[in-house]
Amino acid sequence: MTGSAMADGFDQEYDSTQGVWRISYRASGNMAAPEEGEFLASVSSGLVDDKITARGDYRPSLVYNDDKAGVSVLSRLVQELDRLQDGDEFWFVVAFVKQSGLALLIQELDKLERRGVTGRVLTGTYLTFSEPMAFHTLMRYPNIETRIYNADFSGLHAKSYFFRHEGITDVLMGSSNLTQSALKGNKEWNLAVSSLQNGSLVRDASEAYERLWSAPETCALTDEFLESYTTEYERNKSRQVVPIEALATDATIEPNKMQEAALSKLAECRAAGEPRALVISATGTGKTYLAALDVRQTSPRPQRVLFVVHRERIAAAALKSFQKVLGDRYTYGLYGGGHADTDASCLFCTVQTLSRPENLAQFSPDAFDYIIIDEVHRAGASSYQRIVDHFTPSFLLGMSATPERNDEFDIYKMFNHVVAYEIRLQGALENHLVVPFHYFGVAEEDKPHSGTFEDAEIDRLAARVIDQSEKYGYSGPRVKGLVFCSGQREALGLADAMGRLGYRAVALVGTSSDDAREEAMCRLEQDDPEGALDYIVTVDVFNEGVDIPTVNQVIMVRPTDSAIIFVQQLGRGLRINPEKEYVNVIDFVGNYSNNYNIPVALNGDRSYQKETLRHLMASDGSFIPGPTTIQFDEISRERVLSSINKANFSRIRFIGEAYHHLRQRLGRIPSLEDFRQFGEASPELIFQCKGLGCYHVFLSKYEDEYHVTFDDAQVSFLRFVSTQLAEGKRSVELLLVRLLLEGDTTMEAFRQQVQASDVLQGVHQSDAQVSHDLDSALRVLDLSFFDKTMQRQFHSLCRLSEGGAIRRSGELSHALRDDEFVRQMREVVEYGLRTNRLSYGRPSGSSRLCIGQRYSRGDACRLLDWEKDEHGTVNGYSFKTDDWLVFVTYQKAGEISDSIRYEDRFVSPSTFVWFSQHNRGLGSKDARKLRTFDPSRQRIHLFVKKNDSEGPDHYYLGTMSFDPEDITEEMATDAKGGLAPILRVPFTLDQEVAPEIYRYLTS
C-alpha cells in the first residue's frame, strides 16, 4: 500500500491489491470523526476518483429514468422517503404537481404520516398546469404543509427535493416535476448530493427555499384558494381541448408501429401460401384497425370481407373503424340485432347470429374472400367451429390478446401453428400503444367470506373501496371505474353499498341482459353528469371483448386466480383516449396462496422463476417501460412475496399446463430453448421437479408422441447435467462436458475453450484463476467434489490421466454411442451455456460469482474452487480458506432460539454490521482469525437472503472489508438464557447493494 496525508486531518491510502483508495480520519478537536470521514470519502469518490471506497448513499450521483437499467427518479425518491424517521422532514419545490405523479408517492406519504415525519411542498400556478386533484390529495395530509407561488409576472421553475435528517440533508436537484412522466418516463437528469449541516451548497439551497416559502407572492393552500384555482384551471383547460367533431374526418388512417410490423408479417404469410394466420396483440393496440389495414394492403383486393365478433356493440364499432380505413372501396353492413345487410361487401356480425344453421345456409362457402375472427381464443366453442367449417375464404385471420386456454381446444392448430405477429402488454407499453397504468396493491381488509354478505360487512368493504379510490384518484374530468368482484352476491351488494355512499354504481352479472349492459356502458362514458355512472361493478362480464375507452380506474376486489384474467381485466382501462393520461389499477390483495399470479401478470414473464418475480416486487416496476409503475403497501407486498416463496412451481400439474400451452403453439415437442424463446415455464422447473430431474423423463411420462428410451446410466448423466450444471451459474463444467461429447480431451484444449469463452463474454480471469477453475470442474465431473450420497446417485463423467489427458468414463463412452442421447446431452449443455451468458456473464472480481445473483452454500463452495462440497459445515460463516464466506438470513423466524437470533443488519447500502456466533469474544479463535485477515490474498464474501421461506439460495452481494480496530465484543443471550460474548464487526462492501435488492431485504 502507498499512502499520503490530506488536509484537515484526513489520510488517503491506495490499496494496490484491491485497486481502491481508502480514506481515513485522524480525530482532532471536537469534530464528529466518522461522519466527517464518511462524507469526505463519498465526495472524493463521486467527484475525484471512483476507486475511493465510500458509502454509496452519500456519494454525489446522477439520477435519471432508464427502464432498461431498472433505474428511475421515482425509485430514488421512494428510497429517500423510506429513510425518514420521526423528527425528520422533507421539502419539495416543483413547478408543477399532477395527480399522476403524486399518486406514485401516496403509499410513502401514508407511511411518513404514521411515522411522524413532517413535510413542506412548494409549487406554483404557472400556466395552470398543476392539477386541483393533486392539491386535494396534499390537503389530506395533516403532516404536510403546502404553499403556492402565485405570481402573475414570473413562473416558478425550480425542481428540488430535500430530505432532512439530523445533521444531514440529502438533495435531488434537476429537471423533474411531480408528474408521472418526470418521475418515470422522460429523459430527466437530476443531481443527488448530500451535505452535513455546515455545507454551503445545501445551506444556500435551503435559504433560497425559505425565501420562496416566505415570499409575498406565496400563499397557503386553502379551500378558498383551491376553489378559485379550480375555476381558472377548468376555464383554461376548456380552451385547450379540441372538440372531436373539429378533427379532420377524411384523413387517411396510417398504421402505427405495431401495425406496420404485423402487416409486413401477414403479407409474408400470404406470399408463402399460408391460408390462415393468428395475430396475438395486447388489448388496446388496434387489432381492428390492423385487420382493416391488412384488407387494404391485400392484393388482389378481397371482394367480400366478413368480421365476426361476439357482441353487437363491438360489431358496430368495428364497422366504423373499417369505414375510416377503407372509405368508399366497400359497402358496409351489419348482420344481426335487427339488421340483415347481406349484400354489403364488408359484413359485420356476431357469432351467435351467424352460427345458426338457418343463417349460415344463406351464405355459400366461398361467399367471403377474407374472414376475421375477433377474440379468437373463444373459437373452441361449437358456434365458432360451425362458422369456420362452413366457409372457405382465401385468408382467415384470427386475433386475440390472450390465446392461452385451459381446455383441450388447440387454437394454434386451428391456424396451422402460424403466428404472424405477437405483441404482449410489455411491448405495447414500450411502443406507447396503450396508456401507462399505475398499479397499487393494497391490503384487503374486512372482506366478507363467501356466502356471508351481511350489510355491515358489505358497507365496510364499500367504504374501503371508495377510500382507496379517492386516495389514488384517476385521470380525467370524473371517475369512470370498473370494479371486478369474485361473486354475484358480492357485486350486487357492493354496488348498492357504493350507492349509499353517494357514488353512482350499477352491478352487471352473468344474467344481466344485453340491453342492461349497453345502457350501463353508455352511462359510464357519457359526459353529461345527469344520469351518468361512476362505477360498473361486475363479475367477469367485462374480462374481454368490451371497449370503454374512457375507463380511468380499474378496481379488483377478488383474488388473482389467473394471470390471463388479470391481464384481460387490466386491459379494460388501457385504451388510449384524449380524456386520460393513464389508468389507475387498485388491487385488494388478500392472503391467498396464488398471489404469485399478480407479478406474473404485471411482468409478463411466464417462466415462473421465483427470482424474476421477487425482482419485480423489489423494483416497483422500474424495469417496465415508460411511466407505468407498480407499488404495494407493506402488507400486500409481504402477502405476494409469501405466496411466491411458498409456491411449488415444480409440481407436475403446473409444469404440464405450461408444457401443454407451448406444445399447442408450436405443433411439435418443444426444445429446451423454445421454453426460453416463448416465455413459458423455465425448463429448470422440470429439472428441479422430484421424480423428473431431466427433460427426457418428463417427456417419457407426459408426451404421447415421445418414444425415446435410455438406459439407467444415460438417464443418470442427463439428470446430473440438468440438475447440477444447467442453471448456468458457472460455464467451465459445461464447456468440459461439451468437449467430452466429442471424445477424450486434454487440459490444454480445455484451457483454450475456457479462455475463448471468457474473451467472448468480456471476462478477464488470471491464468491462476483459470487453472483453479479447471481443477474444480474436473472434481465436479469425476464426482470427487461431492459427498458419498451424490457419488452413489450419479456416474462419473471423466478422469484425469497422466500427461494432462482427460478421459471419458467407461459408462459415458458407452452411453455416447446413442446419437439421440448425444443430441439431448448437447441440448442441455447449450441451454446451460446460454443461461450462463445471459445471467451470469459478468462475474465480480476474480471469482465466478456475480453480484446480485443467488447462490446456495454448495454453489459458493464450487464456484470458489473448494476441494469438497462442505456446505453442511458453513453454519453462518466459514473462515477455512482464503475465500471467507458469510451467509446471513436477514429476517429471523419468530420461533428460533434467542441464542441464534443474530441482529445482522445493513446500516446503508454499503455498510453491513455482522455478528459472530455466541461465545466468541475478543480472545476467541474467530477474533484472532479476523485480526489476521490479509486483503492482499484473502476475500470475504457476503451472501444474504431475506428469510428461510426463500429456500437455500442467497443474494451474492460481493466482497467486504473492515478495520480490525472496529471489532468489538458485546453480550447476547445464549442457549441457556444467560449472557455470552459475541463479536460485532462493521463491514464495508466493496460495491454497494443495488437499490431494489436493498429495499427488498430491509423492508
Per DSSP, the residues of 849-915 read --TT-EE-HHHHHHHTT-SS--GGG-SSEE-SSSEEEEEEESS--TTS-GGG----EEEETTEEEEE
Kind and range of the H or E element at 698? helix 695-702
* Banded model confidence at residue 769, pLDDT cuts 50, 70, 90: confident
Query: Is 60 exceeded by the pLDDT of residue 448?
Result: no
Query: Is 50 exceeded by the pLDDT of residue 740?
Result: yes
Return the SS3 of 419.
strand
Identify the bridge partners of residue 14 per DSSP, sorted by sequence position.
Answer: 2, 21
Give pLDDT, residue 17: 54
* Banded model confidence at residue 902, pLDDT cuts 50, 70, 90: low
Is 495 within 8 Å of 505 (Cβ atoms)? yes
* Banded model confidence at residue 447, pLDDT cuts 50, 70, 90: low
Share of the chain above pLDDT 70, in %: 92
Give pLDDT, residue 70: 83
366-385 pLDDT, tens digit each: 999 999 999 999 899 999 99
Is 547 within 8 Å of 314 (Cβ atoms)? yes
| Among candidate residues 626, 605, 424, 412, the one with its CA nearest the CA of residue 616 | 605
573-594 pLDDT, tens digit each: 999 999 999 999 999 999 899 9
Query: Is 80 exceeded by the pLDDT of residue 896?
Result: no
> How far, in Å, CA of 774 to CA of 804, rounded?
11
> How far, in Å, CA of 860 to CA of 776, rounded?
12
Query: Is 90 exceeded by the pLDDT of residue 41?
Result: no
219: left (phi over 0), alpha (psi -120 to 50) or beta: beta
> How far, in Å, CA of 503 to CA of 535, rounded?
8
Phi, psi (rounded to 5 degrees) for 403 = -75, -10
Helices (H) and strands (E) in the chain — how many of each?
37, 38
> How far, in Å, CA of 888 to CA of 748, rounded?
39
Query: Is 80 exceeded by the pLDDT of residue 451?
Result: no
128-163 pLDDT, tens digit each: 899 999 999 999 999 999 999 987 666 789 999 999
Residue 330's Cβ-side half-sphere holds a number of Cα atoms within 13 Å equal to 25
Alpha carbon 764 to chain centroid distance?
31
Is 548 within 8 Å of 525 (Cβ atoms)? yes
Q: How many residues are there in the chain?
A: 1003
Give pLDDT, residue 31: 36
> How far, in Å, CA of 11 to CA of 13, rounded?
7
Cell numbers describing residue 904: 445482522
Give pLDDT, residue 328: 93
> How far, in Å, CA of 109 to CA of 115, rounded?
10
Return the SS3 of 8.
coil
Average pLDDT over residues 931-952: 92
Strands 10-15 and 2-5: antiparallel
Query: Is 90 exceeded by the pLDDT of residue 5?
Result: no
182-228 pLDDT, tens digit each: 999 899 999 999 888 888 888 899 999 999 999 999 999 999 999 99
Cell numbers describing residue 727: 442453471
Kind and range of the H or E element at 536? strand 535-538
* Banded model confidence at residue 241, pLDDT cuts 50, 70, 90: very low
Average pLDDT over residues 672-680: 92
Query: Is 60 exceeded by the pLDDT of residue 126?
Result: yes
* Banded model confidence at residue 973, pLDDT cuts 50, 70, 90: confident
Query: Is 70 exceeded by the pLDDT of residue 13?
Result: no
> Picking from 163-167, 375-379, 712-716, 902-906, which range would have the lowest pLDDT averaged per residue?
902-906
> Picking from 8-12, 338-342, 585-589, which range would have the lowest pLDDT averaged per residue?
8-12
* Banded model confidence at residue 897, pLDDT cuts 50, 70, 90: very low
> How far, in Å, CA of 54 to CA of 58, rounded?
8
The average confidence (pLDDT) of the chain is 89
> How far, in Å, CA of 308 to CA of 306, rounded?
6
> How far, in Å, CA of 860 to CA of 866, rounded?
9
78-105 pLDDT, tens digit each: 989 998 999 999 999 999 999 999 999 9
First to last CA, the chain: 39
Query: Is 70 exceeded by the pLDDT of residue 30?
Result: no
Ranges 8-22, 45-59, 463-477, most confident: 463-477
* Banded model confidence at residue 44, pLDDT cuts 50, 70, 90: confident
> How far, in Å, CA of 833 to CA of 824, rounded?
14
Query: Is 60 exceeded by the pLDDT of residue 16?
Result: no
Cell numbers describing residue 846: 476474480
Per DSSP, the residues of 179-217 read SHHHHTTS--EEEEEEEETT-HHHHHHHHHHHHHHT-TT
* Residue 698 neighbours by CB under 8 Å, 6+ apart: 655, 659, 686, 689, 692
pTM: 0.88
Q: To the nearest 10°, the Cα dihedral for 600, 602, 604, 609?
A: -30
Is 197 within 8 Å of 167 (Cβ atoms)? yes
Per DSSP, the residues of 919-933 read S--TTSHHHHHHHT-
> How far, in Å, CA of 713 to CA of 711, rounded?
6
Cell numbers describing residue 68: 432498461
* Banded model confidence at residue 663, pLDDT cuts 50, 70, 90: very high
Average pLDDT over residues 892-912: 70
* Banded model confidence at residue 1002, pLDDT cuts 50, 70, 90: confident
599-640 pLDDT, tens digit each: 999 988 888 888 888 888 887 778 888 899 999 999 999 999
257-307 pLDDT, tens digit each: 889 999 999 999 999 999 999 999 998 888 999 999 999 999 999 999 999
3-state DSSP of 74-134: HHHHHHHHHHCCCCCEEEEECCCECHHHHHHHHHHHHHHHHHCCEEEEEEECHHHCCCHHH
Give pLDDT, residue 415: 96
Give pLDDT, residue 705: 96
Contacts for 69-74: CB closer than 8 Å, 24+ residues apart: 70/619, 70/622, 70/623, 70/996, 71/622, 71/995, 72/183, 72/184, 72/622, 73/172, 73/176, 73/182, 73/183, 73/184, 73/188, 73/190, 74/104, 74/183, 74/184, 74/620, 74/622, 74/629
Cell numbers describing residue 865: 474452487
Task: Fill in the amino acid letter for 575.
Answer: R
Is 536 within 8 Å of 508 (Cβ atoms)? yes
Query: Is 80 exceeded by the pLDDT of residue 244?
Result: no
Query: Is 60 exceeded by the pLDDT of residue 23?
Result: no
- With 0-12 / 13-18 / 19 or more C-beta atoms within 10 angstroms meaning exposed / middle / buried, residue 145 is middle
Give pLDDT, residue 541: 83
Share of the chain above pLDDT 90, in %: 66
* Banded model confidence at residue 26, pLDDT cuts 50, 70, 90: very low
Average pLDDT over residues 953-974: 91
